[in-house]
Structure 1
Amino acid sequence: MRLLIAEDEKSLSRALAAILTRNNYSVDTVYDGEAALEYLEATNYDGLILDVMMPKMDGITVLKTLRARGNTTPVLILSARSEIDDKVLGLDSGANDYLTKPFDAKELLARIRAITRIQNIGTSSQITYGNITLDCATYELSSASGSFKLANREFQMMELLISNPTHLIPTQRFLEKIWGYDSDVEIHVVWVYISYLRKKLDALGATIQIKAVRNAGYFLEEKA
């Protein structure tokens, strides 16, 4: 699950990213409202953690703009403002929840689980292609032969592939979605994770395979 943190206090942003990463979320961070909108236009996020007081564009304006564009990404506002009127403004502007600073990490995680759960009501957590099933709730890749619990980045790569079978996914897309726009990770790392997934698919006796297109990307297809 991928989240965007829009928080201009960099020490808090780093702390949030560390908490979420330890709990198997992938995280991008931005430090102003304009950057938040740019990231949200370029990437589909499962949730947004949004500060109110930010440079260039405040959080409420970001939220109103987001909703006006039809973007339904779940939003949790984080703010030092604890007055009822501030909470009402945030919720009326389109936020799914509002949490005041300081906060406990356990409560933050519970609030994130709640808003993303609401977004996914009625949607199966399992994706199947060929004889392989990916459970997005447990990170398990399975077949009738057994199962593997995938590491976070393995899961995100497999989710992207199995959600778009037969569609070529550029290598750069993997880097941007999983490691983030600002990451200095080299492109060969994508191949390393593809190799891990191929080995797991082989061990499961998969009827599907990950194919590569040289200098372009990867796609999932059923074996002939």
Structure 2
Amino acid sequence: MRLLLVEDDEMIGESVAAALRRDNYTVDWAQDGREAELSLANDVYDLVLLDLSLPRRDGIDVLNAYRSRGGNAPVLIITAREAVDERIRGLDAGADDYLLKPFDLAELAARIRALLRRRTGQKHPVFSHGELSLDPAAHEAAKGGVPLNLVPREFALLQALIEEPKRVFKRRELEEKLYGWGEEVGSNAIEVHVHSLRRKIGAEEIVTVRGVGYRLKGLG
């Protein structure tokens, strides 16, 4: 899962980004409204955390522009603006949830999980496909009930595949799921992660569609 954090306060931004990365999310951090707009133009994010009081362009303007051009990722506003009319403005502009600063990181994480479940249509946070299961909230994966010891990028790769098991993911799409800004991506990085994940879940579980990309094996 790739998230965009839009926050101009360095102390808050660093702590939130670090916490989300510990939770195995890929996080990009924009520090002003214009940078946020340029980032959202890529349309690669599963969720956006948006402050409102931003340099260069206000968060409400960023949100309005994003929704008006069809951007549909869940948006969680994180702000110190506590007036009710400000909350109403944010929700009316297309925000999915609203969290006032200062907030507890555990509550932030829970709200993110709830929004992502809503987006994927999953009332229960556990995904399953054949013998494979993955619980994003607990950061646990298993095959046939036996826990899998996955490193963060293996977990992120399996999550991408199991959320849309019939979809063939191109290498570039998987890179966007697994890597954030400034992270070096080797020319064969995805192939290496796929090979490593296959060793742990079984080579037959991931199908290579030659010349296109990867998907989970079909059922039945």
Residue 134 of structure 1 contacts residue 141 of structure 1 at CA under 8 Å; is this kept in 2? yes
Which of these residues, 184, 197, 204, is aligned with residue 207 of structure 1?
204
Query: Hey, what's the Cα distance between the residues in 2 that align with 1:176 and 1:200?
Result: 23
**Match of 2:134, as an amino acid?**
D
The RMSD of aligned alpha carbons is: 3.0
- SS of the equivalent of 2:28 reads strand
Residue 157 of structure 2 contacts residue 174 of structure 2 at CA under 8 Å; is this kept in 1? yes
**Match of 1:142, as an amino acid?**
K
Which of these residues, 207, 214, 218, is aligned with residue 219 of structure 1?
214
Distance 1:84 1:221, change over 3 A: closer
Residue 175 of structure 1 contacts residue 181 of structure 1 at CA under 8 Å; is this kept in 2? no
Q: Which runs of 5+ in 1 are unaligned?
A: none
- SS of the equivalent of 1:207 reads helix
Residue 161 of structure 1 contacts residue 169 of structure 1 at CA under 8 Å; is this kept in 2? no
Q: Which moved more, 1:154-163 or 1:26-35?
A: 154-163
- Does residue 132 of structure 2 align to residue 133 of structure 1? yes
Structure 1 residues 96-128: Cα deviation after superposition (integer angstroms, max 9, x where no partner): 222222222222223223333333445674353
Distance 1:136 1:53, change over 3 A: same
Which residue of structure 2 lines up, in the alignment, with residue 196 of structure 1?
196
How far off is 1:24 after superposition?
2.8
How far off is 1:218 after superposition?
4.1
Q: Which moved more, 1:111-120 or 1:135-144?
A: 135-144
Which residue of structure 2 lines up, in the alignment, with residue 77 of structure 1?
77
Which residue of structure 2 lines up, in the alignment, with residue 177 of structure 1?
177
- TM score, norm. by length of structure 2: 0.78
Structure 1 residues 191-220: Cα deviation after superposition (integer angstroms, max 9, x where no partner): 432221121133xxx53445486xx77424
- Regions of 4+ moved over 6 Å: none
How far off is 1:185 after superposition?
4.3
Give percent identity, aligned residues only.
34
Which residue of structure 2 lines up, in the alignment, with residue 48 of structure 1?
48
Query: Hey, what's the Cα distance between the residues in 2 that align with 1:115 and 1:221?
Result: 25
Query: Hey, what's the Cα distance between the residues in 1 that align with 2:216 and 2:47?
Result: 30
Query: Hey, what's the Cα distance between the residues in 1 that align with 2:209 and 2:41?
Result: 28
How many residue pairs get aligned? The number is 214
Q: Which moved more, 1:64-73 or 1:85-94?
A: 64-73
Which residue of structure 1 lines up, in the alignment, with residue 143 of structure 2?
142
**Match of 1:108, as an amino acid?**
L
Distance 1:114 1:198, change over 3 A: closer
- TM score, norm. by length of structure 1: 0.77
- SS of the equivalent of 2:4 reads strand
Query: Hey, what's the Cα distance between the residues in 2 that align with 1:73 and 1:166?
Result: 19
Distance 1:210 1:118, change over 3 A: closer
- Does residue 1 of structure 2 align to residue 8 of structure 1? no
Which residue of structure 2 lines up, in the alignment, with residue 23 of structure 1?
23
Query: Hey, what's the Cα distance between the residues in 1 that align with 2:144 and 2:166?
Result: 17
Q: Which runs of 5+ in 2 are unaligned?
A: none
Distance 1:208 1:100, change over 3 A: closer
Distance 1:180 1:217, change over 3 A: farther
- SS of the equivalent of 1:198 reads helix
